[in-house]
Structure 1
Amino acid sequence: MFDLSAFRLPDMALCSTTVRRLGEGAASIEDAAGRITRYLYANLTTGPDDEPACVLVRLFKTHPYGRLSPELQALVDARLGDKPANPGMKCLTLLASTGAVDGWNNPAQSSRFRAIPLSGPDALATLPMFSQLFAQFHIDLPFLENASSSLLLDQYATTFNAFYVPQALNSPYVPGQEDFVIPFGVQSVLGCGGILPTGEMFALIL
């Protein structure tokens, strides 16, 4: 376990090495993602009783609409309303989730974040945290809707970036103040991610 109040460079090296190995032998990308969120939730601790330091750990990845399951396509269609979905349209999907509430441990129970269509520059207008995440990751919108297109990365940015909201309370970028931030004592939000060789984006949010 790693006490975040005393987290040092050797701890970071050990933790990152372990995380990189969690995908070995995984049956699917969802399986690997689940291993990562469970590991971080269980092993990032705080206080003398080694309480979990994170209320919620989630891992997202973009997928083209045409490669989503029928169930996820239906969720995307519901968000789009009358607007038809292009098969190449990028959608941000929740691969894995681990948290302090039982319902947070199954992505299928997430009604809001399970599949988010990234259909244009206004797609994240109602999701301020993701809007800020994309900005800090240097990901440009709108997304190209060609099936072979990838997300656009700022030429001066790296392919791996960090996302950080130092104070979650009253932050316009962290939704659910009354039912999430305040009752669970969320102090901050930290994320990392970037562009995969396939051109898809991933984001790990704690």
Structure 2
Amino acid sequence: MDLCNLQIGEPEKLIAELDPRLRACRTVGEASTLLSSELYDRCRCGATQERALVLSRVYLSLPFSTLDAGGQAFAREKFGLQPAPRDLFLALVGTHGDRPEWCDRAKSNGHRAIPLNRTTVATVPMLARCFQQIGFDLDVVLKPGEGIHTEGVSRSFGLFHVEQALGSPFVPAQEDFVKSCGVQSVLGCGTMLPDGAVSIWIGFLRGKVTQQAAVPLIPMMPSFWHVVQPIYRRRSLFAA
């Protein structure tokens, strides 16, 4: 897929192609890692058709009690918290990128499990912008399962887009990541599951992509979760 000239229907076509492999996955983490790696390998950009993505990641909102042991330890140590079982975190469930450590979520230094509450959504610029642009209702997200009557996976969300990553207040680690890795644009799309959980794919690109060019990405995560939802319903989240 050419992210600089993405065609309508291409992301859904990719998910359809991956369908048998996604359904064969034993856990949400395995399926999300497959999506992250396939996007990293397949996405190109512009006339040179060089690999478009520096880093490709999938996140899912989860209660603390459902994080794996490493994720729980990370949350406690990184943020100095003693979370309650139902406290929500935006958990890294799939990752693939240029560096070996970006291909293993257990090696994530800062984003393996991000506390999900009104303070972080309001004060972490990238997270705040992502929720705003994609269009997640924070009241629903913070009270998963309460009063939600969505049938299936919602398709009515937008696009997180930062065309110029360098100097943007919405993209952290400017020196250590944006400049050093040549990140030019950032894209994200997401969906909400029937129980109110949200899932986001975020891609950091080495080419510049306009918002108009990226719009066809919007249905990708609903399509992905339409396939993977049975695994999620079984609460098969991470490998034992």
- State TM-score, norm by structure 1: 0.83
Inter-CA distance 23–48: structure 2 relative to 1 (3 Å threshold): same
State the identity as a percent: 32
Equivalents in 2 of 1:142, 1:123: separation in Å?
14
Q: Cα offset for 1:127? A: 3.0
Inter-CA distance 168–113: structure 2 relative to 1 (3 Å threshold): same
Unpaired segments of 5 or more residues in structure 1? none
Paired position in structure 1 for 2:54: 55
Contact 1:79/1:117 (<8 A) preserved: no
Equivalents in 2 of 1:45, 1:144: separation in Å?
33
CA displacement, residues 91-137 of structure 1 (integer Å, 9 cap, x when unaligned): 1100111111111110000021001112x321245632112111223
How many corresponding residue pairs?
Answer: 199
Larger strand fraction of residues: 1
Contact 2:141/2:196 (<8 A) preserved: no
Give 1:34's aligned amino acid: T
Give 1:185's aligned amino acid: G
Larger helix fraction of residues: 2
Paired position in structure 2 for 1:188: 185
Inter-CA distance 77–143: structure 2 relative to 1 (3 Å threshold): farther
Among 78, 84, 87, which residue is 1:86 paired with? Answer: 84
Q: Cα offset for 1:55? A: 0.6
Please state whether the residue corresponding to 1:202 is helix, strand or coil. strand
The structure, 1 or 2, with the larger RCO (C-alpha pairs under 8 Å, 6+ apart) is 2
- State TM-score, norm by structure 2: 0.72
Equivalents in 1 of 2:193, 2:177: separation in Å?
31
Equivalents in 1 of 2:66, 2:147: separation in Å?
14
Inter-CA distance 47–144: structure 2 relative to 1 (3 Å threshold): closer
